[in-house]
């Protein structure tokens, strides 16, 4: 599959602290790629090197099949974690300004800005100053400004931070339309629930290193043998002390068992037959949050 982004052995150190250490990953074209990790893992530093805001100490950034050039960045839309709009500028003028920064002539960007204001439900606020908007409205304007020039690659750093549920749905719809047009989305977040719903591929960074990368469905299949779904009656508290069972999570009449590597269904049956009446036991794919926690714990072990 053709790659939109290739990062090859990126390193970055600040005052003796190694923020990024040998990050290598590939973002396939037309996918939603999740760059995941705990706070301070090196995600934002990696993105800033991708966007040429920071230079790597060593390593290579490739975009669209070749070493990145400044011209390639005109094909990228970037929404940083630290939002930045001109508070005294009115909303429509803000969008026109952002479009022109990406090289769009006024006659091209004006109808696009009006269309985005309509789609975002903010057409009636076109003449309002940015400082008069709510935080959610301002974030919608920021996303619209990022998409005005129809970038082939969209890079978002913690895009859902501070959004209410309604605006989260709106953002997801906008992003789905972007990817449906054959474009690529690179999403950095530490919120696993959002990433699980959106991402096709992931890379997990811990302490500046990639500890897990690949297609999300394949990762889940590989790691699913250690997670089981159980419907049973009996002494559930005792189940939590069963050898090989690390965690028991109850929900909707089903118990999710997170088990040690190598634990099998027959092992669980043998260990629980004395105190549980089992209706159903089946292997289950782990959630992305479970994968995340395990990978982070393993990296710190």
| 255: in domain | yes
| Co-location of 120 and 249 in the same domain | no
The CATH number assigned to the domain holding 237 equals: 3.30.70
Asked which of 180, 207, 234 is the last residue of a domain, the reply is 207
| 76: in domain | yes
How much is the pTM?
0.81
Ordered per-residue pLDDT tens for the chain, 301 residues: 699 999 999 999 999 999 999 999 999 999 999 999 998 899 999 999 999 999 999 999 999 999 999 999 999 999 987 767 888 999 999 999 999 988 899 999 999 999 999 998 999 999 999 999 988 888 889 999 999 999 999 999 988 877 788 888 888 888 888 888 999 999 998 888 889 989 999 999 999 999 999 999 888 888 777 889 999 999 989 999 999 999 999 988 899 998 988 889 999 999 999 999 999 999 888 889 988 888 888 887 7
CA distances from residue 52 to 6, 37, 46, 47 in whole angstroms, order as listed: 14, 21, 10, 9
| DSSP for the chain, written as a single string | --EEEEEEEEEEEETTEEEEEEEEEEEETT-EEEEE--TTSSHHHHHHHHTTSS--SEEEEEETTEE--GGGGGGEEEE-SS----TTSBHHHHHHHHHHHTT--HHHHHHHHHHHHHHTT-GGGTTSBGGGS-HHHHHHHHHHHHHTT--SEEEEESTTTT--HHHHHHHHHHHHHHHHTT-EEEEEES-HHHHHHH-SEEEEEETTEEEEEEEHHHHHHHHGGGEEEEEEEE-HHHHTTSTTEEEEEEETTEEEEEE-TT--HHHHHHHHTTTEEEEEEEE-PPPHHHHHHHHHHHHH-
| Co-location of 135 and 239 in the same domain | no
The CATH number assigned to the domain holding 57 equals: 3.40.50.300
| Co-location of 83 and 8 in the same domain | yes
Domain count, the chain: 2
What is the domain extent for residue 52?
A: 3-207
| Co-location of 105 and 18 in the same domain | yes
| Co-location of 8 and 115 in the same domain | yes
């Amino acid at each position: 599959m053709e790659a939109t982004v290739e990062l090859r052995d990126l390193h970055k150190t600040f005052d003796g602290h190694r923020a990024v250490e040998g990050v290598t990953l590939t973002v396939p074209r037309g996918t939603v790629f999740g760059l995941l990790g705990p706070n301070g893992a090196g995600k934002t530093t990696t993105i800033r090197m991708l966007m040429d805001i920071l230079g790597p100490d060593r390593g290579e950034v490739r975009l669209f099949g070749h070493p990145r050039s400044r011209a390639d960045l005109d094909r990228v839309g970037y929404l940083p974690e630290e939002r930045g709009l001109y508070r005294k500028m009115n909303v429509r003028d803000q969008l026109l300004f952002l479009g022109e920064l990406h090289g769009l002539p006024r006659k091209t960007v004006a109808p696009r800005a009006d269309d985005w204001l309509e789609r975002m439900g903010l057409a009636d606020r076109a003449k309002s100053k940015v400082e008069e908007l709510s935080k959610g409205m301002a974030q919608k304007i920021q996303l619209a400004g990022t998409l005005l020039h129809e970038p082939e690659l969209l890079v978002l750093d913690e895009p859902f931070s501070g959004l209410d549920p309604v605006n989260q749905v709106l953002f997801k719809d906008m992003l789905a339309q972007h990817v449906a047009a054959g474009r690529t989305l690179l999403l950095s977040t530490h919120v696993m629930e959002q990433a699980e719903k959106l991402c096709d591929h992931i890379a997990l960074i811990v302490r500046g290193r990639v500890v897990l990368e690949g297609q999300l469905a394949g990762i889940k299949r590989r790691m699913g043998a250690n997670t089981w779904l159980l419907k049973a009656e009996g002494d559930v508290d005792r189940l939590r002390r069963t050898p090989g069972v690390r965690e028991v999570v109850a929900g909707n009449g089903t118990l999710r068992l997170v088990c040690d590597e190598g634990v099998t269904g027959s092992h669980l049956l043998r260990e629980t037959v004395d105190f549980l009446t089992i209706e159903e036991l089946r292997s289950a794919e782990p959630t992305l949050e479970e994968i995340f926690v395990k990978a982070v714990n393993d990296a710190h072990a």
